[in-house]
């Protein structure tokens, strides 16, 4: 159960003051219940409530600022969040946390290119390798510099990631020196060709560091 309010400005402002005055609120609330039964552990019924609040500024010389805080509270704390020490219960990975979820500056120098710097969402493909883990309450976001550009039917995304703000609050975040590259060519409305290289390197989680690359074709047939 969730509700979201987000609004964006579609025109550029003349001054920084006007851009800030044109800011739009970001408000979201989601109540979530998960029940887990696991042999050898106490049954879990985790009721958690997530709230987000922030704003997105108007545009000034192609620049927009977005800031968002996220808070997760346990309304029924009889579950193992992986951080609360309640190991007699089954795991529901929704710990209590209050943190900066997003804090990003976006520059759009042209209709075909966008540069985003700061704490941001990055969701690529089916989110198997890079995504927000949206079914959990503490969203996964990335400290990164990212560029998206398009040349005709070709779309390119590159990101350098310095931190992964994982779903288990700040205690389990990863320091990163990762490079992400994704290229998609739209042959037609029914066929897309893609090449990617996700070189993920984590300073404090070396066992999870990987380099995955490949090609992919996707589409539909009437």
Same domain, yes or no: 76 and 178: no
Q: Which of 103, 133, 156 is the last residue of a domain?
A: 103
Same domain, yes or no: 116 and 96: no
* C-beta separation of 76 from 47 below 8 A: yes
Helix (H, G, I), strand (E, B) or coil at 17: helix
Which residues are paired to 100 by β-bridges? 69
Q: Which of 71, 103, 135 is the last residue of a domain?
A: 103
Those residues with Cβ within 8 angstroms of residue 30's Cβ, 6 or more apart along the chain or in another chain: 1, 2, 3, 49, 50, 51, 137
Same domain, yes or no: 162 and 221: yes
Quote the pLDDT of residue 219. Answer: 86
Closest residue by Cα to residue 126 from 206, 173, 194, 76: 194
Rounded to two decimals, what is the model's pTM? 0.88
pLDDT tens column, 129-160: 999 999 999 999 999 999 999 999 999 999 99
Quote the pLDDT of residue 183. Answer: 98
Same domain, yes or no: 202 and 149: yes
Same domain, yes or no: 71 and 167: no
Same domain, yes or no: 146 and 162: yes
Same domain, yes or no: 121 and 211: yes
Total number of domains in the chain: 2
Same domain, yes or no: 84 and 161: no
Confidence of residue 16 (pLDDT cuts 50, 70, 90): confident
pLDDT tens column, 25-49: 999 999 999 999 999 999 999 999 9
Same domain, yes or no: 121 and 218: yes
Same domain, yes or no: 123 and 186: yes
Domain limits for position 99: 1-103
Q: Which of 72, 103, 134 is the last residue of a domain?
A: 103
Same domain, yes or no: 21 and 79: yes
Among the ranges given (5-19, 51-65, 92-106), the one the predictor scored with the smallest mean pLDDT: 5-19
Same domain, yes or no: 197 and 220: yes
Measured distance CA(202)–CA(177) in Å, rounded: 6
């Amino acid at each position: 159960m969730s509700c979201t309010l987000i609004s964006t400005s579609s025109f550029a402002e003349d001054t920084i003051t006007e851009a800030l005055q044109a800011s739009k609120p970001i408000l979201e609330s989601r109540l979530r219940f998960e029940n887990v039964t696991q042999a050898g552990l106490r049954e879990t019924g985790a009721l958690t409530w997530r709230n987000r609040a922030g704003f997105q500024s108007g545009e000034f010389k192609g620049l927009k600022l977005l800031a968002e805080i996220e808070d997760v509270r346990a309304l029924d704390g009889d579950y193992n969040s992986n951080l609360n020490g309640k190991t007699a219960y089954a795991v529901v990975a929704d710990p209590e946390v209050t943190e900066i979820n997003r804090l990003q500056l976006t520059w759009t120098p042209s209709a075909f290119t966008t540069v985003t710097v700061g704490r941001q969402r990055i969701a690529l493909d089916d989110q198997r390798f890079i995504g927000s883990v949206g079914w959990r309450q503490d969203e996964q976001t990335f400290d990164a510099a990212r560029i998206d550009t398009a040349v005709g039917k070709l779309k390119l995304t590159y990101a350098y990631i310095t931190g992964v703000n994982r779903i288990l609050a700040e205690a389990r975040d990863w320091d990163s020196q990762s490079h992400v590259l994704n290229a998609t060519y739209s042959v037609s409305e029914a066929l897309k060709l893609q090449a990617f290289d996700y070189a993920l390197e984590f300073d404090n989680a070396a066992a999870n560091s990987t380099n995955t690359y490949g090609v992919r074709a996707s589409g539909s047939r009437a």
